[in-house]
Amino acid sequence: MKIAKEKKEEPLYEPIKNLLQTYFKRYVGDGGRVYLEITANGQFSEELKEALDDRALTILRVERFSPDITGFLQKKDSSSKELVTVEIKSDKIKINHIYRAKLYADVLNAKYGIIISPKRLQEEIRRFIKERYNIIYRTYGSLIIAQFDRERNIRTNILEDVFKFDEKLYPTIPEPFKSAT
């Protein structure tokens, strides 16, 4: 029997998922719904599969890849579900990580594609993205690159400023985080 190797980012899945749920509950407001699950192992619940279109389900099965966290947001009195994909990195975010996160968001037709790391985005990567913005540009907006300040979260247990956004890439806090603060 093969034992699955633990990914370095696995300890970050649950705390980031929980924080995102808290942020997104503020965003969707009272009566809205937030559903996120850890999908890094390629397993999707039936409830999540219902929110995905047939083509996305087929590609996920055929290609055998999946975001670390997948889910949806549903505002009160809305029948539409806004899909969310999250890729988590335990170390510095590289260009190939950004493309992978964008791929997940594009394949699932997610409104929000997010990549998160506890490490600050390197200056060279930030400048590269600024010069070639199409790297993070998507139909719905931009891929969201965030830094997760785990120490601050553990120390203060305060939600604000747990996710940081490079002000040179994002002049304002990106949706859905903006409405959550």
Distances (CA, A) of 62 to 10, 53, 103: 24, 14, 15
Full-model pTM: 0.87
Closest CA to 16 of 44, 46, 36, 41: 36
All structural domains of the chain with their residue ranges: 10-180
Strand bridging mode 82-88 / 112-117:
parallel
Q: What is the average per-residue pLDDT within 127-144?
A: 83
Q: What is the average per-residue pLDDT within 126-139?
A: 85
The pLDDT of residue 176 is: 79
Instruction: Give rounded-to-5 percent helix, strand, coil for the chain.
Output: 40, 20, 40
Mean pLDDT (the chain, rounded): 85
- Phi/psi for 2 (5° steps) reads -85, 135
The pLDDT of residue 2 is: 39
pLDDT tens digits for range 32-75: 999 999 999 999 999 999 999 999 989 988 988 899 999 999 99
pLDDT interval class at 105 (50, 70, 90): very high
pLDDT interval class at 162 (50, 70, 90): low
The answer to whether 154 and 166 have CB atoms below 8 angstroms apart is no
* Residue 113, amino acid: G
Q: Is 50 exposed, middle or buried (0-12, 13-18, 19+ CB in 10 A)?
A: exposed
